[in-house]
């Protein structure tokens, strides 16, 4: 398991890797592994390479590229959510799911 760190730079500072590209690769992988390769929105399991990383708070609304703002999402959910508010989008798409909402809340808080 790759340790889950706040940014790719932390993989360099901690000498887990020596290159920027590998730091970014490990970081992206660690976020997906942290959620057991599950899309946080629909709850389905995917191969690690099928998952994208979604900005919970959209970049267009000032959401940062930090571990605490990134979650694994399948392509359909990532595109469907777009720049909507994550909880509003999730509820209107899948109905209310307290367990899954809590999983996201724990990650972003
Ligand atoms: Zn999904």
**Helix residue ranges per DSSP H, the chain:** 8-13, 20-34, 75-81, 86-94, 98-108
Ion ligand 1 neighbours (CB, 5 A) are 39, 41-42, 74, 77
- 71 closest CA partner among 109, 26, 38, 47: 38
Question: From the CA of 75, how far away is ligand 1's center (Å)?
Answer: 7
Q: What is the pLDDT of residue 2?
A: 85
Per-residue pLDDT tens digits for 31-86: 999 999 999 999 999 999 999 999 999 999 999 999 999 999 999 999 999 999 99
Question: From the CA of 6, how far away is ligand 1's center (Å)?
Answer: 23
Question: From the CA of 4, how far away is ligand 1's center (Å)?
Answer: 21
- Quote the pTM value: 0.94
**Helix residue ranges per DSSP H, 14-74:** 20-34
């Amino acid at each position: 398991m790759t340790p889950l760190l706040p940014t790719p730079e932390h993989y360099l500072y901690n000498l887990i890797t020596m290159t920027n590209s590998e730091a970014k690769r490990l970081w992206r992988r660690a976020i997906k592994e942290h959620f057991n390769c599950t899309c946080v929105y629909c709850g389905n399991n995917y191969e690690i390479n099928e998952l994208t990383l979604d900005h919970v708070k959209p970049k267009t609304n000032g959401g940062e590229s930090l571990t605490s703002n990134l979650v694994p999402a399948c392509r359909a959910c990532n595109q469907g959510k777009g720049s909507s508010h994550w909880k509003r989008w999730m509820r209107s798409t899948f109905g209310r799911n307290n367990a899954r909402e809590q999983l996201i809340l724990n990650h972003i808080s």
